Amino acid sequence: MRGMMEAMENNYSFVELVDIIRHLRSENGCPWDREQTHESLKPCLTEECEEVLQAIDNKDDENLCEELGDVLLQVLMHSQIAEEEGRFTIDDVINEISRKMIRRHPHVFGNGHAGTSAEVLLNWEEIKKAEKAAKAAKHHEIP
């Protein structure tokens, strides 16, 4: 039990959390975690998101911190399942959201301008539409 107590006192990094999830899904991990699929986890993701909203409504920082961790767990579980299937990894998820944030904030990372929140939202929607159009055109290209 001493090892468990030490684990409870440690501070963990994101990389260590990814390794914990990978271990839980491994052959020597947890039967429940190994059985999960994207589909089986859908209710869990919905529930955890609702609990985040409740914590925000209650202005309960301690619970908000815990519930955000539970949402992060869902992201990591889905990413791990996808990695096992050879579809994508958590690094792919991180790269995609990072690129999206940079693309959609040209007023911060580029030469764009947005002096108000309304301008930010307008630019965001215009960039989003252009991205979707480019994606649709790419899918319709003949190889």
Tally of CA atoms within 13 A in the half-sphere of 123 that contains its CB: 19
| H or E stretch covering 11 | none
| pLDDT for 1 | 43
Residue 54 · residue 70 · CB < 8 Å: no
What percent of the chain shows pLDDT beyond 90?
Answer: 87
Lowest mean pLDDT among 46-60, 68-82, 113-127: 113-127
Q: Given pLDDT bands bounded at 50, 70 and 90, which one contains residue 9?
A: confident
> Do 73 and 14 form a contact (C-beta atoms < 8 A)?
no
Tell me the helices (H) and strands (E) count for the chain, helix number first.
8, 0
Mean of pLDDT over the chain? 93
- Beta carbons of 32 and 88 less than 8 angstroms apart: no
Determine which helix (DSSP H) or strand (DSSP E) holds 109, and give its type and residue range. Answer: helix 106-109
Q: What mean pLDDT is predicted for residues 8-31?
A: 95
